[in-house]
Amino acid sequence: MKNEKTPLDGEEFMESVYKKELGPDFATVEGGVAIGKIDWTKDSEYIRLFGDTRPPPLPPMSPFE
């Protein structure tokens, strides 16, 4: 017999995808949702929009001022 891999079920497959995509930020899968912490400031789209530094927060907007 050939050394064939057994196909993954849906949840195992998605967990392997999350591990590949999120790398060390991946923690676990709960109910089909990947749980972990991602620093979005390192994302290429974030850097394209805002540069290497985070913009300062906007002042609060209140209708009572």
Domain annotation covers residue 64: no
Number of separate domains in the chain: 1
pTM: 0.45
Q: In the chain, where do the E strands start and end?
A: 26-30, 33-36
26 vs 46, higher pLDDT: 26
Q: Contact, 34 vs 22, CB < 8 A?
A: yes
Structural domain for 23, as ranges = 10-50
The predicted structure's pLDDT at residue 7 = 63
Q: Find all residues with CB under 8 Å of 46, minimum gap 6, and list them.
A: 40
Beta bridge partners of 28: 35
1-13: pLDDT as tens digits: 455 566 667 778 8
Q: Is residue 24 part of a domain?
A: yes
Report yes or no on 17 lying in a domain.
yes
